[in-house]
Amino acid sequence: MEGTIGGGWDVTRNTSQSSGRRLEDRIAWAVRNADGVVAIGVALVIGVLDILDDNFDNNIVSGATLLVLAALVYGSLTERRRRMADIRGATEGTSRAIEDLAMVRTLSGAEVGLAHEKARRNTTRWVFKGGTGTYLRAVTLPECVEEVKRQRRSLSMKIDILNPADDRVCTAYARFRRTFGRQGDAGVHPEWTVERTRKESYATVLAAAWHRQRLDTLEIDVHLSSVAPTLRFDLSDSCLIITQDDPRRVSLYVERGRPLYDYYVTELHQSREQAVKLDLREATPLSDEPTVDEARRLLDRLGLPLPTSFTDPDVGDIIDRALRAEDPYRR
């Protein structure tokens, strides 16, 4: 019985609240359209009194006219209400369109470095896809490691770079960098060759293994791709940053929560699925200052042996690039 009575009270209360809301909406509409409401009220009253006057024959025309005018005013108010609803709908649609356009923000100059710095704060993951990972080795990886140590937390990093053992993709990437590289400063920026491309990519593998062995809470996966990219993707918990090889060109910034961010999460995952994954758990130990023999053993163990043409000085160059890479945005 109590349940039935309680249910009845709920229905009555809901009905009362619904009626109250409708009454409030009608009062608010009347206030917004006070001029029309007054006009239609006066017209109706005068029209009815005029028609019901003793002098019916003389006043029927004027009374009917006022009633017609009242009907016109009512129609005008109805149309106004409909137009306001249409305007609100159009405004909401425009707002959504503006939000969609604003999902991508452009970055240039120092803004790129600041965006990366902000993205590294408090992130628990970092996904990179690019050519050989020079900026990753020079800035992203060591800075992320320092942040993880400072906050005593874990970090998952996934790296997708060129396969240095794939001659075709290294040749294509070197040709692309030469074709669209900066002109007039070859002395400052060494020319991109197939050999340099391989060294840079080997260096990223070596750097990933070196940092992983020194921080237990750092999980790194390295994937080697056979497709030469033209863009670089850095994805953290908070945003996605898309850059190019030339720091003078405009970069793109996408906040998490935007559809484009989610699209690229899937896109980058699919790219890694089609690449060769290295198991860094099998990596042989590296000292604080790795030797040539240590570097060779590690790469051999990972199934990524160095070309026979690479001399000891070449391997030493790879080690130097791995641990002391130069920030390409500060050149």
The full set of domain ranges for the chain reads: 14-101, 107-330
Residue 181's pLDDT is what? Answer: 75
* DSSP β-ladder status, 125-129 and 155-162: parallel
Residue 2's pLDDT is what? Answer: 46
Residue 103's pLDDT is what? Answer: 76
* DSSP β-ladder status, 232-235 and 239-243: antiparallel
Residue 9's pLDDT is what? Answer: 47
Cα–Cα distance between 22 and 18 in angstroms, integer? 6
Residue 1's pLDDT is what? Answer: 46
Place of tokens 């899937």: 266
The pTM for the full model equals: 0.71
DSSP 8-state symbol, 307: P
Q: Around Cβ 29, how many Cβ atoms within 10 Å?
A: 14
Residue 3's pLDDT is what? Answer: 46
Q: What three-state secondary structure class fits 205?
A: helix
Each residue's pLDDT tens digit in the chain (331 positions)? 444 444 444 545 566 666 777 777 777 766 666 656 666 676 666 666 666 665 555 555 566 566 666 666 666 767 776 777 667 766 666 655 555 556 789 999 889 999 999 999 999 999 999 999 999 999 999 999 999 999 999 999 999 999 999 999 999 999 999 998 765 455 556 799 999 999 999 999 999 999 999 999 999 999 999 999 999 999 999 999 999 988 888 999 999 999 999 999 999 999 999 999 999 999 999 999 999 999 999 999 999 999 999 999 999 999 999 999 998 877 5
Using only C-alpha atoms, the chain has a radius of gyration, in whole angstroms, of 35
Q: What three-state secondary structure class fits 302?
A: coil
Residues 6 or more apart in contact with residue 39 via CB below 8 angstroms:
70, 73
| 277-305 pLDDT tens trace | 999 999 999 999 999 999 999 999 999 99
Query: Is the domain 107-330 a CATH 3.30.870.10 member?
Result: yes
Residue 157's pLDDT is what? Answer: 97
